[in-house]
Amino acid sequence: MTTPIVRFAPSPTGRIHIGNARVAFFNYLFAATHNGRFVLRFDDTDFRRSTAAFAEGIEVDLAWLGIAPQLTLRQSDRSAIYEAAAARLRETNRLYPCYETQEELEKRRKLQQARGLPPVYDRAALRASTEDRARWEAEGRRPHWRFLLERKTVEWNDLIRGPSHIDCASLSDPVLIREDGAFLYTLPSIVDDIELEISHIIRGEDHVTNTAVQIQLFDALAPERPTPVFAHHNLLISGAGEGLSKRTGSLSIASLREEGYEPLAVAALATLTGSSEAVRAVRSLDELASHFDLAHVSRNPARFDPADLAALTHRTLSLFHYDDVRERLAAHDIVGFKAEPFWLAARSNLSRFDDILEWWRVVEGEVSPTCEDEELLAKALELLPPEPWDGSTWSQWTSAIKSATGYKGRALFHPLRLALTGKETGPELAALLPLIGRAKALQRLGANGGET
């Protein structure tokens, strides 16, 4: 395989949701796996709805997910290139003007359906005379422009769906340019794919029906170049079985970030769900790429349930080494010699990363200890060993308490946990006790019965 070049091409008409991120990850990981290039292209030719703020928001969302494009461009900067391509199509009679209004086209479609015919555009504009066009122009009409399809079956080998084909005789000639001169999605997309030498187009299966038209455009504009390879993957649906929409904010990346989910958990669930690969926690996108293969993608819809994301976030945090989170901890002033052992002690008790702050308070701050058994705590206070402490201190201390009191199991450990941390559950106290230190342990054990 030559060096692959892929692209993620969102329209900046809203923030991206998890379904859009799935497309981005499929392309990004495919490029990473094959030492390729990943291009971010903003399809912003819809000037009424596209905004710079949405484009900036999408870049922020992708950066949070760990996706770094090698090139970013905007179609709004490239109109001259599309105009030149349209001119070439006109010269070869593959782009022709049409003067029908939307009302006229809709009436014609209804008549065809009433006669049991497919609602395919009948190419009436090709039969219009010079006089007809002049009259329409005089009436103030402006043409929209359609691409003249060859009435043939277009075939391609889809990397996910296998051998595929569409009979173009069943399709209407697509409109490429509106009456106001604005380009629709198709022409700029194909022109850019040619200019950027895109080798693989990996996208959702909702674009399958566009593929035959686009292949014909590739052939018309760049017959000397190989057509990109297509891969159409299954779509994500919500846990309730609904489709996702960036306009409603459904499972938006921004909302997932605000709710505290880990980006690598989002990446793993978005990428691996709906495939034969088991969804798993990973420490890096490189590790995720090693489990990614287009051949493993199912043809059935892939369900994305935030409940699964919560569990995967917990498992992801549990995997992280200290170096994976060093900068994030430092941002919360969790630094110094305690930082690494503290992270290793607390990481398996986190639902969200910010939960770490509560456990840091247990180690370094003030807690409200609970006295469940005053007699036991008094003996524990008496038997508290001198420092230095290490990972064996907890075992030695509780063994001494057990011998002195006869307490064991929950009756022994639960009152000590409540006194030392103020919490019912939490990290292993064998790891936490040396971080709390003897001075705080004395204070918390003696809060209800004096101090030794």
DSSP class per residue in 303-330:
EE-HHHHHHHHHHHHHH--HHHHHHHHH
The mean per-residue pLDDT over the stretch 57-75 comes to 97
Tokens describing residue 81: 């290139």
What's the pLDDT at 402? 96
What's the pLDDT at 303? 85
Residue 203 banded pLDDT, cuts 50, 70, 90: very high
Other CB atoms within 10 A of residue 441 CB: 22
The mean per-residue pLDDT over the stretch 58-81 comes to 96
What's the pLDDT at 449? 45
What's the pLDDT at 251? 82
Q: From CA 22, how far away is CA 204, in angstroms rounded?
A: 9
What's the pLDDT at 224? 95
Smallest CA-to-CA distance from 332 within 319, 346, 318 is with 346
Residue 250 banded pLDDT, cuts 50, 70, 90: low
What's the pLDDT at 1? 62
Q: With 50 as the cut, is the pLDDT of residue 320 above it?
A: yes
Q: What is the model's pTM?
A: 0.90
Q: With 70 as the cut, is the pLDDT of residue 249 above it?
A: no
pLDDT in tens, 75-86: 999 999 999 999
pLDDT in tens, 105-156: 999 888 888 888 888 999 999 999 999 999 999 999 999 999 999 999 999 9
- Is residue 31 within 8 Å of residue 6, measured between CB atoms? yes
Q: Please give the single-letter amino acid code of residue 138.
A: A
The total number of residues shown for the chain amounts to 452
CATH number 3.30.470.20 is the correct assignment for the domain at 374-448: no
pLDDT in tens, 256-302: 999 999 999 999 999 999 898 899 999 999 999 999 999 999 888 88
Q: In a 10 Å sphere around its CB, with 0-12 CB exposed, 13-18 middle and 19+ buried, how is residue 81 labelled?
A: middle
What's the pLDDT at 32? 96
Tokens describing residue 318: 């549990």
Q: From CA 74, how far away is CA 9, in angstroms rounded?
A: 9
Tokens describing residue 157: 């080998």
Whole-number average pLDDT of the chain: 93
Q: With 60 as the cut, is the pLDDT of residue 247 above it?
A: no
What's the pLDDT at 245? 59
- What are the strands of the beta sheet with 144-147, ordered from one edge? 95-98, 144-147, 175-177
Question: What are the residue boundaries of the structural domains of the chain, listed by start?
Answer: 1-75+184-319, 81-177, 325-359, 374-448
Q: With 60 as the cut, is the pLDDT of residue 10 above it?
A: yes
Of residues 197 and 236, which shows the higher confidence score?
197
Fold of 1-75+184-319: Rossmann fold (3.40.50)
Q: From CA 211, how far away is CA 301, in angstroms rounded?
A: 20
Residue 447 banded pLDDT, cuts 50, 70, 90: low
What's the pLDDT at 399? 97
What's the pLDDT at 223? 95
Residue 194 banded pLDDT, cuts 50, 70, 90: very high
Q: Give one DSSP letter per residue of 37-67, joined into a string.
A: EEEEEE----TTT--HHHHHHHHHHHHHHT-
Q: Please give the single-letter amino acid code of residue 158.
A: D
CATH number 3.90.800.10 is the correct assignment for the domain at 81-177: yes
Residue 4 banded pLDDT, cuts 50, 70, 90: very high
For the chain, the farthest-separated pair of C-alpha atoms sits apart, in whole angstroms, at 110
Handedness of CA 394, 396, 402, 405 (dihedral sign): negative
Question: How many helical (H) and strand (E) elements, i.e. helices and strands, does the chain have?
Answer: 18, 12
Smallest CA-to-CA distance from 253 within 79, 220, 262 is with 262
Q: Where are the beta strands (DSSP E) in 205-357?
A: 229-233, 236-238, 302-304
Q: What does the DSSP 8-state code read for residue 125? A: G
What's the pLDDT at 451? 41
pLDDT in tens, 350-370: 999 999 999 999 999 999 888
Q: Is 86 helix (H, G, I), strand (E, B) or coil?
A: helix
What's the pLDDT at 431? 96
What's the pLDDT at 42? 97
